[in-house]
A and B are shown apart, each in its own frame.
Chain A
Amino acid sequence: MKSETLSQNLDQEAIEVFIDSLAHFYRQIGVDEAQIGVPYLLDSNKTIISDFTGIIGVSGKRKGCVYYTCPKAMLSYILLAMGEKEVSSSYLCDLVGEIANTIAGNARKAFGSDFMISVPVVVQGKPERIQLPESTRSVVIPAKWKFYESIIVVALE
C-alpha cells in the first residue's frame, strides 16, 4: 500500500484542483455553490454520461482524461439565471465548454509541466470520443446544484 501513497497524493491533489475549479466556476457566475457528494469508483468499462459533456485530455506525467458532464436542464437553468435569453444547443455547449475550460485552466496552472492539459472538447449526447484508460478505475465526483446532479469523472493512468 505504501508505494501507492505517492501517486495517490498526486491524484488527490489533482482531483481537489478539479473540484475547486468547479466550485470556482459556480462562484464566478454568481449562483449558489454546488454541493460535492461522496466520490466513488467506476469500472473502466463503464462510463456515466449526461446530456452535455466537456472532455479534457491529460498527458505528460499522468495520462487519461477528465470530463464534466451534466443534464441539459441544469445548463438551461444556469444560462437563464445568467440573464441569457436564448438556450440553444450551441449556447449550452458553450457553457459546458466554459466549465471544462475553467477546470482545465486551473489544472494547467496548478500542475505546470507535469501535466499537459488539452483544450476541452464539448460533446452533446453520447460521445464516441471519450477514451478512458483501460486498466484504471475512474473516480466519480458527484456535484449537486439545485435539483440537478452533474459529475466530474477523473480517469488517470
Chain B
Amino acid sequence: MKFINDLGKYRAIVISVALFIFLDAGVLVLNFYISSQIADDATNVNLAGRQRMLSQKATKALFDYRQEYLSGGSGEAPFREMLAAVSLFDKTLQAFDQGGETLNASGQPIYLAAVTGAESRATVAQSLEIWQPILRDFHALEKLHADPSSYAVFLNQLVDSARANNLGLLKLMNDLTNQLETVARNKSETLRMIQAAAITLAILNFFLILFHFIGQLRRSDAVADEARRETQEILSTVREGLLLLDDQLVIGSQYSGSIPEIFGEQEVGGTSFRDLLQSLVSEGDMNTTEEYIKLLLNHEVKENLIGSLNPLSDVEVSVPSRSGGLQVKHLSFRFNRAIEAGRIRHILVTVLDITETVRLRDELEQAQARQSGGLQMGVLKELLKLDQTALAGFLSETEGALLAINEILREKVEDMSGYRDKVNGSYRIMHKIKGDAGTLGLPHIVDAAHNFEDGLEALRNNSGLKGGDFLPLTLSLNAFLELIAELKEMVALFPQRKAPVAVVAPSRLEADKIERLARRIAQEQGKSVELDFDLTGQERLSAEQLKQVQECLIQLVRNAVVHGIEPEVERLSAGKGAVGRIAVSLRMEEEGVRIGVRDDGRGIDLKRLRDRALAKGLYSEQEVETLPRTRLLSLIFEPGFSTEDSVHEHAGRGVGMDLVRAGVNRLKGRLRIANKARQACEISFLIPNESLMEPSLAEVV
C-alpha cells in the first residue's frame, strides 16, 4: 500500500495498467480452461456417438454369426467382432455411469468422468437396465459356445432379444449423445460469454486509460503552462527587482522585468553579481557585499542574526538612464536564502528602487521648513503692525509667564490635588497670555495659547491624572517658548526698533485696548456692542494695581460680551436696542474705589447655574435647590466652571472669571455681583482705601 501511495500522481495510471494486464491474463487463462473443457466435452460426445455405432455393430455381428453358425460355418470372425463390440460398449457405458477408463477411437485408454445432469444420468441408468440382461446373455453365449445341444436355441433367443432391444438402446445412446452435445454447447456458450465480457472490460479499461490519461496529461500540461505564464507575469509586473544568485554569485536566468529597468542593462542572466554592481558601488562596498552574501550561503551562520549587517540596505547609485545620461537612484537591496530540501541553493536578491520614497521624504522635510517659514512670515506681518515697545514688553512678559508655568510644573507635589493645582495655575497664566495676545491682535499666539489650553482641558478631564500625562504639555510649553524666542529675535531685527524695555506697565488704564477687544469679540460672535468708560479716579491706583485692574477688566468685558450681551435678534425681540451697552466704571466710594463692568444683556440665568453645578457634581440635587443666591452666583468664579456649552477662543472654559477672582484677591478687593435676570448684570469689585495710594502721593507719581 505504501508503494502505491508513493506513486503519487502516477498512481491512477499504474492501477489502470495493472487492471488491464490482469483482465488480459484472465481472458488468457479462461481460454485455456475453455479449450480443455471443450476438448473433454467433444470426447464425451464422440464416445456417446460411438456407443450408437457399437450397439448396431454388436447386433449386426450377432446376426452374421447366427447366419454363419446355422449354415455350418465356424462364424469365428463375426463372433469375435461381436464380443469386442459388446466389451467396448459395456466399458464405455460403465465409464459414463461410474467414471472410469475406456478406449478412444485409436484404441488408447482414456479416462471418462461420470456424466452429470439428471437427464443424462437417467438415460445412462435406463440404458444399463436394458443392457445388463443382454450382456448376461452374451456372456452366457460365450460360455455355451462348446455345447451345441442347447446352443442354437439360446442363440436364437439372444437374437430375438437383441432384435427387440436394439432400437431402444440405439435411441437411448442417441439421446445421450444429444444431451451431452447440449451440455457441451451450453457450457462453451457460457464460457464464451464470460470471455467476451472479460475482453469487453479489458477494451473498456484500455479506452479509459487512453481518454483519462490523455485528458490528465493535457490538463497537467495546461496547469504547467499556466504556472509558467503566471511566473512570467509576476516577474514582468513585479515592481521589485528580483533575481537569484548561485553559490558562485552568478545571476540566474529568471529575473523580474524591473531588473533591466533599475540597472539600465538588458541582459543580466548568467553574469556575475559583481559585474552588475561594479560600476555602481565602491570596490570596498562590493567586497563587503560579496562577503555578506557568502555568510548567507554558509548554513552555519544564522540568517536572522545578520540582517542588520546588510551593507546595501540603502545605497545611492548612478545608473545609465534611457536618455543616455546618468540618473541618481536610491536602491535598497535585500538578501534572503532560498532553501530547497534543507540546503541553501540560492540567494534571492530583492532590489527596491526607493528613489521616490527618499525624494518624498526630502520634500516633506523641505515643506516643513517652508511651512514654518510661512508661519514666521505671517507672524512677522502681524508684528510689523504693532507698536514695538508694547510688543517687546508683551514678549518679555509672555516669556516670563511661560517660565512661571514651567516653575509650576516643576514644583514637587505629592498627590492628585497637587496635579490639579498645577493645571489650574497653568490655566490662569495661559489665559492671561491669550487675553493679552488677543488685545494686541496676535492671532497666531492666541492660537498657540488656545492649543495649550486644550491640553490643559484634557488633563483637567483626566480622572486618574499622573505625572507622565503632563508630557505633551511640557513639550508644548517648550515649543511655545521657542516661538517666543524666535519672535524676540525678529523684533530685534526691526529697523525702527527702540532700545529694549523690559516690562512696561501702563500708568493708566488702556480703555482703547479694552474697547478694541470687546468689538473684535462681538464681531466674531455676530453681536454689536457699545462701550462707555468712566475711569475718573484711576490716579489713586499704583502702576501694579492698574495692571491688575486692566487684566480684570479685560476678562470682565470679555465675559460681558460672550455671556451677557445677546445676539441682535434676541435683543430686539426682548424689546432692547440692537446694540448691547457695556459700561466700564472706576469710581470713588466711601470705602474705596469700585471698579465694575455692567452690561444690559440677559443677566445670569440662575437655573442654568444650578444645572451646571449639578452636572459638575459640585452639589447634590437637594443642596442645589436650597443654595443661597449669592453662593450660587459666586460659582461663576470657580475654576473650570463655565455655563458656556461649547469651547471657543473667548470663553467656555470658565477660566476668565477664575482669573478675575485671583486678580481681585491680589488687590485685596471684594467681589460683588448685581444681577437682574434678562435685563442687566454688573460685576464689580472694591479696592479698599487702605490699599490705595494717598492722593498727594498719587499726584507725585
Among the listed B409, B466, B476, B482, which residue makes an inter-chain contact with A40, where contact means beta carbons less than 8 Å apart? B409
Given A36-B467, A41-B406, A142-B467, 6 additional A-B pairs, CB 8 A: A1-B375, A1-B448, A2-B375, A12-B475, A36-B466, A41-B409
Instruction: Pick 12 A–B contacts, CB within 8 A, sort by A.
Output: A1-B479, A3-B368, A19-B468, A38-B413, A38-B474, A39-B470, A41-B409, A41-B477, A137-B481, A139-B474, A139-B475, A139-B478
Contact B479 A8 (CB under 8 A): yes
Interface centre among A1, A4, A16 (most CB of B within 10 A): A1
Closest 9 CB pairs of A and B: A3-B372, A4-B479, A37-B467, A1-B448, A36-B468, A40-B410, A39-B474, A40-B409, A38-B470
Q: Is A131's beta carbon under 8 Å from chain B? A: no
In the complex the two chains form, what is the Cα distance from A15 to B448 in whole Å?
A: 22
B371 near A3: Cβ-Cβ < 8 Å: yes
B333 at the interface (CB under 8 A from A): no
Neighbouring B residues of A139 by C-beta, 8 Å: 471, 474-475, 478
Residues in B whose Cβ lies below 8 Å from that of A142 = 467
Partner of A12, one of B368, B412, B467, B471: B471
Closest partner residue, chain A, to B447 (CB atom): A1
Of chain B, the residue at the smallest CB distance from A23 is: B468
Report whether B467 and A38 are in contact in the complex, using a CB–CB cutoff of 8 Å.
yes
Task: Give every chain A residue within 8 A of B444 (Cβ-Cβ).
Answer: 1
A89 interface hit (Cβ, 8 Å):
no
Kindly report which residue of chain B lies nearest to residue A39, judged by CB atoms: B474
Q: Which residues of B contact A39 (CB under 8 A)?
A: 409, 467-468, 470-471, 474
For residues 400 through 421 of chain B, which have their beta carbon under 8 Å from a beta carbon of chain A?
Answer: 406, 409-410, 412-413, 419
Q: B206: CB under 8 A from chain A? A: no
Shortest C-beta distance, B602 to chain A (Å), equals 35
Contact present for A15 and B479 (CB under 8 Å): no
Of chain B, the residue at the smallest CB distance from A1 is B448
Instruction: State whether B478 touches A41 (Cβ < 8 A).
Output: yes
In the complex, whether A47 has a CB less than 8 A from a CB of chain B is no
Please count how many residues in chain B sit with their CB below 8 Å of the partner chain's CB atoms: 31
Q: Report A-chain residues with C-beta under 8 Å of the C-beta of B475.
A: 8, 11-12, 15, 139
| A residues near B480, Cβ cutoff 8 Å | 1
Query: Which chain B residues border A41 with CB–CB below 8 Å?
Result: 406, 409, 474, 477-478, 481
Secondary structure type dominating chain B contacts: helix
A11 to B413, CA, bound (A): 25
Q: A36-B467, A39-B471, A40-B474 are in contact. Are A2 and B371 (CB under 8 A)?
A: yes
The residue among B375, B410, B474, B481 with the most chain A CB atoms within 10 A of its own CB is B474
Query: Once the chains bind, are B471 and A16 in contact (CB under 8 Å)?
Result: yes
Let me know if B422 is at the binding interface, CB within 8 A: yes
B168 at the interface (CB under 8 A from A): no
Are A38 and B371 interface neighbours, CB within 8 A? no
Q: How far is the CB of B202 from chain A (nearest CB, A)?
A: 72
Residues from chain B with Cβ under 8 Å of A12 in the complex: 471-472, 475
Cross-chain contact A4 with B483 (CB below 8 angstroms)? yes
**Given A12-B471, A36-B466, A39-B471, A6–B368 Cβ distance below 8 Å?**
yes
B182 at interface (Cβ–Cβ under 8 A)?
no
Q: For the complex, what is the distance from the CA of A4 to the CA of B406, rounded to whole Å? A: 19
A69-B603 Cα distance, complex, nearest whole Å: 57
Given contacts A35-B467, A38-B422, A39-B467, contact A4 B474 (CB under 8 A): no
Complex contact A38–B479 (CB within 8 A): no
**A66-101 CB contact bits vs B (8 Å, 1 = yes)?**
000000000000000000000000000000000000
Q: Which residues of A contact B422 (CB under 8 A)?
A: 38
Q: How many A-B residue pairs have CB under 8 A?
A: 74
Which of A4, A12, A16, A35: most chain B Cβ within 10 A?
A: A4
Picked from B412, B451, B466, B471, the residue with its CB within 8 Å of the CB of A1 is B451
User: Whose C-beta in chain B lies nearest to the C-beta of A149?
Assistant: B412
CB–CB A40/B406 < 8 A: yes
Interface digits, A1-32 against B, CB 8 Å rule (1 contact, 0 not)?
A: 11110101001100110010000000000000
**Per-residue contact bits, chain B 166-205, to A (CB 8 Å; 1 contact, 0 not):** 0000000000000000000000000000000000000000
Assembly CA distance A29 to B475 (angstroms): 30
Q: A1-B448, A38-B409 are in contact. Are A8 and B471 (CB under 8 A)?
A: no
Which residues of A have CB within 8 Å of B371?
2-3
Using a CB-CB cutoff of 8 Å, which residues 110-157 of chain A contact chain B? 137, 139-142
What residue of chain B has the Cβ atom nearest to residue A142's Cβ? B467
Contacts of A15 in B (CB 8 A): 471, 475
Q: Give bound CA distance, A39 to B470, whole Å.
A: 6
Residues of chain A with a CB closer than 8 A to B447's CB = 1
Binary interface profile of B, 429-460, with partner A (CB < 8 Å = 1, else 0)? 00000000000000010011001000000000
Chain A residues lying within 8 Å of B375, measured Cβ to Cβ, are: 1-3
Q: Which A residues are in CB contact (< 8 Å) with B448?
A: 1
Question: Which residues of chain B from 462 to 498 have any CB-CB distance to chain A below 8 Å in the complex?
Answer: 466-468, 470-472, 474-483
Please give the distance in Å from A111's CB to the nearest CB on chain B: 14
Chain B 559-585 against A: per-residue CB contact (8 Å), 1 yes, 0 no?
000000000000000000000000000
Q: Which residues of B contact A8 (CB under 8 A)?
A: 472, 475-476, 479
- State A4–B472 Cα separation when bound (angstroms): 12
What are the interface flags for B341-369 relative to A under an 8 Å C-beta threshold, 1 for contact and 0 otherwise? Answer: 00000000000000000000000000010
Min Cβ gap B333→A in Å is: 15
A39 to B413, CA, bound (A): 12
Note all chain B residues with C-beta closer than 8 A to A35: 466-467
How far apart sit A41 and B479, CA to CA, in the bound complex (Å)?
Answer: 11
Q: Which residue of B lies closest to A143 (CB)?
A: B467
Residue on B nearest A140 in the bound complex, by CB: B410
Question: Taking each of B448, B466, B472, B475, which has the highest tally of chain A beta carbons within 10 Å of its own beta carbon?
Answer: B475
Q: How far is the CB of A150 from chain B (nearest CB, A)?
A: 13
Q: Which residue of A lies closest to B419 (CB)?
A: A38
> How distant is the Cα of A1 from the Cα of B445 in the complex, in angstroms?
8
Given the complex, which residues of A lie within 8 Å of B413, measured CB to CB?
Answer: 38
Most buried by B among A16, A36, A41, A137: A41
Q: Which residues in B have their C-beta under 8 angstroms from that of A19?
A: 468, 471
Give the residues in chain B near A2, CB-CB below 8 Å.
Answer: 371, 375
List the B residue with the shortest CB-CB distance to A15: B471
Complex interface: chain A residues within 8 A of B368 (CB): 3, 6
Q: Which of A2, A8, A11, A39 has the most B CB atoms < 10 Å from its CB? A: A39
Q: Nearest Cβ in chain A — how far from B234, in angstroms?
A: 29
Residues of A within 8 A of B479 (CB): 1, 4, 8
The residue on B at minimum CB distance from A6 is B368
On chain A, the residues within 8 Å of B467 by CB distance are 35-39, 142
Q: In the docked arrangement, what's the CA distance between A140 and B375, Å?
A: 29
Nearest neighbor of A137 in chain B, beta-carbon distance: B478
> Which residues of A have CB within 8 Å of B412?
37
List B contacts of A38 (CB < 8 A).
409-410, 413, 419, 422, 467, 470, 474
Minimum CB–CB distance from B63 to chain A (whole Å) comes to: 130
